[in-house]
Chain A
Amino acid sequence: DAGVTQSPTHLIKTRGQQVTLRCSPKSGHDTVSWYQQALGQGPQFIFQYYEEEERQRGNFPDRFSGHQFPNYSSELNVNALWLGDSALYLCASSHGTGNGNTIYFGEGSWLTVV
């Protein structure tokens, strides 16, 4: 049973560029959420996708956008990268939404903006 998988594992981008991160949820899961974890901090919620729609959004600018595909996989896009976007980006999946579902996380994508 494959867990949550993310790609790429590591990447380096230049300020102003755009990046796309990918996530495949755990088998049987239909909900995908994205979190940003800056160094030394706890993960911060970016947004959640369910039924191919953005259901919830955290306090992140519009430069952060996403998509969910019919097979439940998801992409996170960040435009006009800032140095401050350097972080570990974690994808999480669950079945449905609400009621304290157990959320499973992937190993993350380490993004460095130079």
Chain B
Amino acid sequence: AQKVTQAQTEISVVEKEDVTLDCVYETRDTTYYLFWYKQPPSGELVFLIRRNSFDEQNEISGRYSWNFQKSTSSFNFTITASQVVDSAVYFCALSDWRDDKIIFGKGTRLHILP
């Protein structure tokens, strides 16, 4: 069975600090896809990144970076120099190659304090 675990329920950091959100996944498939979504208070899930299981190269997009390690089944997300606008709930998610059904973690609520 597929499963995504986000052990950090809630994190608070002061603005400009770096913060890492942890994600551990379980799957028996060799081909799968990992995602991160951001959910502001409005409710909409905002797509941040998609990574397939064959691409372990880390990715950086502005202040955001992702560290994918198959050996530890982890797909961690780091925000550098955090800003108040980064405050939201962040979800890590997993899908397989057969369909687009996404399995979400329970999310990490991130508070960036001014």
Contact = CB atoms under 8 A, between A and B. Distances in A.
Given A100-B52, A105-B37, A110 B100 contact: no
B106 A94 contact: no
Chain A interface extent, by class: 20 to 34
Chain B interface extent, by class: 20 to 34
Contact of A41 (B93, B99, B106): B106
A108 B103 CA distance: 18
Contact of B33 (A31, A45, A100, A106): A100
Contact of A100 (B4, B46, B95, B103): B95
Contacts of B42: 107
Nearest to B103: A45
Contacts of A45: 101-103
B47 A42 contact: no
A110 B43 contact: yes
Contact of B97 (A41, A99, A102): A99
Given A98-B99, A103-B100, A42 B91 contact: yes
B98 interface: yes
A41 B102 CA distance: 14
Contacts of A101: 100
A79 B41 CA distance: 28
B25 to A, nearest CB: 13
A22 B109 CA distance: 28
Given A41-B106, A42-B105, A42-B107, A98 B100 contact: yes
A2 B8 CA distance: 34
Given A42-B107, A102-B47, A105-B45, A48 B99 contact: yes
A68 interface: no
30 contacts: A31-B100, A42-B91, A42-B93, A42-B105, A42-B107, A43-B104, A44-B104, A45-B102, A48-B100, A55-B99, A88-B43, A90-B45, A92-B45, A97-B99, A98-B97, A98-B98, A98-B100, A99-B97, A100-B50, A100-B52, A100-B100, A101-B100, A102-B47, A102-B50, A103-B100, A105-B37, A105-B44, A105-B46, A106-B44, A107-B44
